[in-house]
């Protein structure tokens, strides 16, 4: 059954416009709370958020929803998404909530839910919660209404956890690191963790005001990071997104290192140490063909999934892999975390850099990527991919590639966008094919 509210990463939308309203947040709290009231113990939910202005409103609404059905609430304040997942399990909570729209602008917000095991919800759980959203949820008797409390040391708990994933035999002393926290959820924890490990930290994107999250900073806008790395003479730059589950790196020359290169770096190091499970890496259909060829040259495999870190994780769990991720920088290290963790992934990259004793520009660019181009076409409604003109443009482009590259055209799971990607040996050809398909989609969506 098609889900009405849940996309590929929870519920997301423009704040104060359905479904991202305080009323909906309260209803989600009631429905999710009722769904996860299993067993006869006192039930608990952990709630974190990023730094968006609307986070206060949605947090309060969700507290009302959860407590109204008898769940106790633990409030973490601004915390990375992976910290919420980790603290959900360590605090023995029945459910975890992250209020965030990730890399989107401040005007958007979202609700991500985690089960008691710290993993994002299954399709079945989301369907059950949606069914409850459409019904009258029974409220708790007056004596059984839940309580809410704020945990003041949540940041310290996550910093300790993140540092524990860094190899015991290594230090970051003498390494100048620029960290861009996107004015988001990691604005306190990421610089602190790096400093405690010995790095000389230059922090940017650490002055959130409720409206500047992801605004010309962070993993989706790395220009400021690039400029700061070069100007400060840093060895490396680390960019997180608004909820810190995504990582992009900049080397000492200012060149960007994407998620594919980072997965190649970590995979190579773990394979040498005998730590890489499954004999390879799990990535999405968006990952560059160059990554696949690079891994194959080392006797390692690449398994592809649909776009979305939840699908990467599902494949990792089903097939015994411990490294997977997306080109966009969601990197899942299942030895440590149940979801993507930008800071933990960055620490593994820094470990490889320290072991190599060479500049980031030499260590982190592991393969030459094939020309790849992705463009987004916004649409207001309908099914533009079903238009005959769009189908014809796609078929014509596939025929022109004739097996020498790839096309990937899909609807975004979080925004009203059609994403058009092409990859191949000839950049000019790739640009022409993408423009052809985008033009057809635009006309169909008009």
Whole-structure pTM value: 0.90
Query: Quick one: tokens of 155?
Result: 């940041």
- Residue 46: enclosing H or E segment and its boundaries? strand 44-49
What fold, for 166-363? Alpha-D-Glucose-1,6-Bisphosphate; Chain A, domain 3 (3.40.120)
H or E element that contains 251: strand 247-251
Q: DSSP letter at 20?
A: B
Residue pair 81/245 in contact by the 8 Å Cβ criterion: yes
The domain locations on the chain are 11-154, 166-363, 372-445
Q: Which residue has the tokens 């890489």?
A: 276
User: Quick check: 252 and 360 in contact, CB under 8 A?
Assistant: yes
Which candidate, 312, 109, 341, 155, places its Cα nearest to that of 241?
341
CATH homologous superfamily, domain 11-154: Alpha-D-Glucose-1,6-Bisphosphate, subunit A, domain 3 (3.40.120.10)
Mean predicted confidence (pLDDT) in 166-183? 97
Contacting residues for 427 by C-beta, under 8 A, at least 6 apart: 371, 373
Paired sense of beta strands 95-99 and 108-114, if any: antiparallel
Name the residue among 203, 196, 189 with its Cα closest to residue 173: 196
Active-site annotation holder among 102, 192, 287, 328: 102
* 372-445, CATH topology level: TATA-Binding Protein (3.30.310)
Whether 403 shows a pLDDT value over 90: the answer reads: no
> Which tens digit of pLDDT belongs to each residue from 299-339?
999 999 998 888 999 999 999 999 999 999 999 999 999 99
The reply to whether domains 11-154 and 166-363 share a CATH topology is yes
Query: Taking 60 as the threshold, does the pLDDT of residue 1 lie above it?
Result: no
Q: Is the dihedral of CA 372, 299, 248, 155 positive or negative?
A: positive
The Cα-based distances of 6 to 1, 15, 277, 371 in angstroms read 12, 16, 31, 33
Cβ-based neighbours of 408, under 8 Å, separated by 6 or more: 285, 286, 419, 420, 421, 422, 423
Output Rg (C-alpha) for the chain, integer angstroms.
Answer: 22
pLDDT tens track for 417-438: 999 999 998 999 999 999 999 9
* Mean pLDDT score, 192-211: 98
Per-residue confidence (pLDDT) for residue 2, from 0 to 100 = 61
Q: Reduced to 3 states, what is the DSSP secondary structure of residue 341?
A: coil
CA 437 – CA 193 distance, rounded (Å): 45
Higher-confidence position of 413 and 191 = 191
User: Which neighbouring-strand residues pair with 179?
Assistant: 203, 238
Query: Active-site residue 102, yes or no?
Result: yes
Q: Check pLDDT > 80 for residue 3.
A: no
Tally the residues of the chain: 446
Give me the mean pLDDT over the 94-118 stretch.
97
Closest CA to 426 of 398, 405, 442: 405
- Note the pLDDT of residue 143: 97
Residue 371 pLDDT: 92
pLDDT of 84-97, one tens digit each? 999 999 999 999 99
pLDDT tens track for 352-382: 999 999 999 999 999 999 999 999 999 887 8
Q: Which candidate, 400, 390, 392, places its Cα nearest to that of 430?
A: 400
What token pair was written down for 335?
A: 């030895």
Residue 381's pLDDT is 77
The DSSP line for 218-255 is STT-THHHHHHHHHHT-SEEEEE-TTS--EEEEETTS-
- The yes-or-no verdict on residue 415 having pLDDT over 90 is no
């Amino acid at each position: 059954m098609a889900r009405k509210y849940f996309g590929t990463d929870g519920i997301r939308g423009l704040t104060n416009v359905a479904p991202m309203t305080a009323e909906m947040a309260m209803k989600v709290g009631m429905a999710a709370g009722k769904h996860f009231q299993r067993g006869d113990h006192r039930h608990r939910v952990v709630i974190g958020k990023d730094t968006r202005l609307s986070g206060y409103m949605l947090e309060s609404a969700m507290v009302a929803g959860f407590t109204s059905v008898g769940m106790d609430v633990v409030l973490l304040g601004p915390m990375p998404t992976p910290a919420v997942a980790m603290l959900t399990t360590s605090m023995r909570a029945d459910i975890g909530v992250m209020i965030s729209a990730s890399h989107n602008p401040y005007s958007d917000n979202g609700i991500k839910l985690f089960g008691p095991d710290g993993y994002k919800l299954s399709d079945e759980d989301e369907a059950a919660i949606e069914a409850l959203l459409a019904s009258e949820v029974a409220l708790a008797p007056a004596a059984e209404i839940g309580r809410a409390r704020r945990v003041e040391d949540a940041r310290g708990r996550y910093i300790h956890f993140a540092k524990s994933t860094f190899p015991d035999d290594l230090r970051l002393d003498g390494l100048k690191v620029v960290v861009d926290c996107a004015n988001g959820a990691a604005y306190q924890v990421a610089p602190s963790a790096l400093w405690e490990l010995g790095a000389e930290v230059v922090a940017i994107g650490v002055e959130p005001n409720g409206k500047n999250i992801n605004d010309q900073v962070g993993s989706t806008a790395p220009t400021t990071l690039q400029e700061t790395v070069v100007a400060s003479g840093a060895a490396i730059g680390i960019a997180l997104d608004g909820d810190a589950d995504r990582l992009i790196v900049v080397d000492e020359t200012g060149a960007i290192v994407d998620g594919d290169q980072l997965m190649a770096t970590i995979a190579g190091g773990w394979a040498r140490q005998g730590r890489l499970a499954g004999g390879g890496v799990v990535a999405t259909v968006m990952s560059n063909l160059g990554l696949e060829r690079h891994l194959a040259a080392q006797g390692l495999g690449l398994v592809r999934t649909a776009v979305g870190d939840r699908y990467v994780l599902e494949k990792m769990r089903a097939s015994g892999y411990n490294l997977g991720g997306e080109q966009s920088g969601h990197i899942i290290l299942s030895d440590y975390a149940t979801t993507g963790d930008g800071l933990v992934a960055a620490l593994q990259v820094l470990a490889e850099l320290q072991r190599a004793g060479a500049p980031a520009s030499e260590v982190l660019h592991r393969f030459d990527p094939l020309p790849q181009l992705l463009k987004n076409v916004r649409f207001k409604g309908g099914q533009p991919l079903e238009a005959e003109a769009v189908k014809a443009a796609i078929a014509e482009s596939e025929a022109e590639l004739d097996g020498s590259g790839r096309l990937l055209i899909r609807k975004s799971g979080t925004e009203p966008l059609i994403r058009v990607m092409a990859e191949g040996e000839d950049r000019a050809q790739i640009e022409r094919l993408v423009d052809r398909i985008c033009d057809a989609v635009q006309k169909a969506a008009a």
